[in-house]
Amino acid sequence: MEESHIEKGECQNKLEVAPALISVHPSQKSVAVTVGSDLRVFDLIENCPITLVDESEGPAHKDSIRAIRHGASGKLFVSAGDDKLVKIWSADSWRCLNTVCSEKRVTAVAISSDDSYVCYADKFGVVWVVELDGINEGKVLPAKKGASLLSHYCSIITRLDFSPDGRYIVSADRDFKIRVTVFPKKPLEGAHEIQSFCLGHTEFLTCIAFVWNPELTQGYLMSGSGDSTVRLWDITCGSLLDTCDVSTMVGDLESSESEPPSQVTVTDICTIPNSSLAAAAIQSFQGIVLLSCDLSAHTLSITKVIKIPGESFIPTSISVSKFLWMVSGASNLPGSNHPGVSRVRVISTETCSVLEDEQIPGGTKLLKHLQGKVRVEESVMSAAAEAVREAMSSLLMKKQYSDEKREFRKRTRNDKKTTL
């Protein structure tokens, strides 16, 4: 205990590195990028930067944003993070409609498919729910407090999502666990009925995404983890349908490197609409792995690997609508005079090719707004990727101590003294 306290104390002195995040509007009206406490949005219809208007009671983001998301309907957008604020925005007017103050730092957010509830998870494993009565008319609501919905016992919840049919809320945590809970009719009274637990991962969960089609609205769940696998689940019974190991893929590709890493972290997954494909971003891999999911045979396999040529670009967050949008970057980089750095790249989902900066929707105007500048130096990019990797493992991996060290720290404990 003592030692971990000291280590935590040290971490708090220097600012924590937060990865850059990206979220694109479901019908590609706009795209949002966060770096640290900065939320930048670009209008893809009008082809211009958007100025955010915040008249809600409550302060603006002043610490790293850890989760952003567009609602499935495209009307709402939510941002939340280390400053314990959850901000709900209109995705049309980009006015802040409500600011919810959380007691703890927020790690994940989700919007119900009918836009009537926002759920957010805190660093202590509690999921909270806020009712959005009348927010659909674009009204600014008085400051609200969340009601506790469910809890993972003292574990960081890394992702939160509603099932496509809205029946379940799914929460993934650092203790290798995915919990599927029936989303109740009266969520403010708590969600008590657990449908299943999806257990099989052997490291922390990092991302979840539903694969679904119009016939199969309930859908299947894909999850990515620090154990270098993506897994496919049937959430009604929690059974593991297939496991796809991505570490070998990455190892083979980087044949010039010495030893391929034994374990890689899947940092983000998103499913491509109207297809059985999903894109996965993998830590320390310069590109995207496309996974194909056969919902009748219950299999998951790698279909294509898209390498990003040239510069060092390792996606930290990805989002999809007509195109696959990727961002790489971080805030609070140690030992650098860059407060935050981000680089946006786009892949066409039809041709699976990486677009040049001039070809992307919004062009260099978009890049200038979302990146802060058109060109980003490569050395900074690789430093950012490394910093994000380190920050993620120190946040989510269990600290390992040698047996001797652990015994040494227990030396004064009563039960260790011998009475013989």
Partner 1 sequence: MESETKATFSKSTGLPRKRFYRARAHSNPLSDSHFPIPTSPAHVDFSLHFPKFVEADGKTSKKVEFADIGCGFGGLLISLATLFPETLMIGMELRDKVTEYVKERILALRRTSSEGQYENISVVRTNSMKYIPNYFEKGQLSKMFFLFPDPHFKEKNYRRRVISNHLLDEYAFVLRAGGIIYTITDVEELGEWMKSCLEKHPMFEPLTQEELDSDPVVELLCSATEEGQKVARNGGQTFRAVFRRIAYAS
- Phi then psi for residue 405, to 5 deg, are -60, -45
Binding to partner 1 in span 216-275, by CB under 8 A: 238
Q: Contacting partner 1 (CB under 8 A), which of 51, 296, 351, 414?
A: 414
| Structural tokens at position 319 | 């989002």
Q: Which is nearer to partner 1, 148 or 276 (CB)?
A: 148
Place of tokens 């039960």: 415
Among the listed ranges 19-27, 188-196, 212-220, 354-362, the one in contact with partner 1 (CB under 8 A) is: 188-196
Should residue 177 be labelled a site residue for partner 1 when binding is judged by CB under 8 A?
yes
Per-residue contact flags (x/-) with partner 1 for residues 76 to 115, judged by CB under 8 A: ----------------------------------------
Buried b / exposed e over 25-56, threshold 16 CB at 10 Å, is: bbebbbbbbbbbbbbbbbbbeeeeebebebeb
Should residue 407 be labelled a site residue for partner 1 when binding is judged by CB under 8 A?
no
- Per DSSP, 357 falls in state T
Should residue 415 be labelled a site residue for partner 1 when binding is judged by CB under 8 A?
yes
Per-residue contact flags (x/-) with partner 1 for residues 385 to 404, judged by CB under 8 A: -------------xx-x---
Give 32's contacts (C-beta < 8 A, 6+ positions apart): 22, 23, 24, 39, 40, 41, 42, 68, 70, 77, 79
Least gap, CB of 411 to partner 1 (angstroms): 14
Least gap, CB of 128 to partner 1 (angstroms): 12
Whether 391 and 331 have beta carbons less than 8 Å apart is answered as: no
Residues in the chain: 420
Q: Contacting partner 1 (CB under 8 A), which of 1, 55, 309, 310?
A: 1
Least gap, CB of 337 to partner 1 (angstroms): 36
Among the listed ranges 39-47, 147-155, 297-305, 347-355, the one in contact with partner 1 (CB under 8 A) is: 147-155
Q: Contacting partner 1 (CB under 8 A), which of 161, 175, 242, 268?
A: 175
Per-residue contact flags (x/-) with partner 1 for residues 278 to 317, judged by CB under 8 A: ----------------------------------------
Q: Contacting partner 1 (CB under 8 A), which of 11, 59, 62, 153?
A: 153
**Collapsing DSSP states into helix, strand and coil, what is residue 207?**
strand
- Per DSSP, 188 falls in state G
What is the rounded CA–CA span in Å between residue 111 and residue 114?
Answer: 8
**Alpha helices, DSSP H, located in 177-291:** 247-253
Q: Contacting partner 1 (CB under 8 A), which of 8, 103, 138, 197?
A: 197
Whether 318 and 347 have beta carbons less than 8 Å apart is answered as: no
Q: Contacting partner 1 (CB under 8 A), which of 86, 150, 209, 289?
A: 150
E-strand stretches of 176-286: 177-182, 194-199, 205-213, 216-225, 229-234, 239-245, 266-271, 277-282
**Interface contacts to partner 1, rule CB under 8 A:** 1, 124, 126, 148, 150-151, 153-155, 175-177, 179, 181-182, 184-185, 190-194, 196-197, 199-202, 238, 398-399, 401, 406, 413-415, 417, 419-420
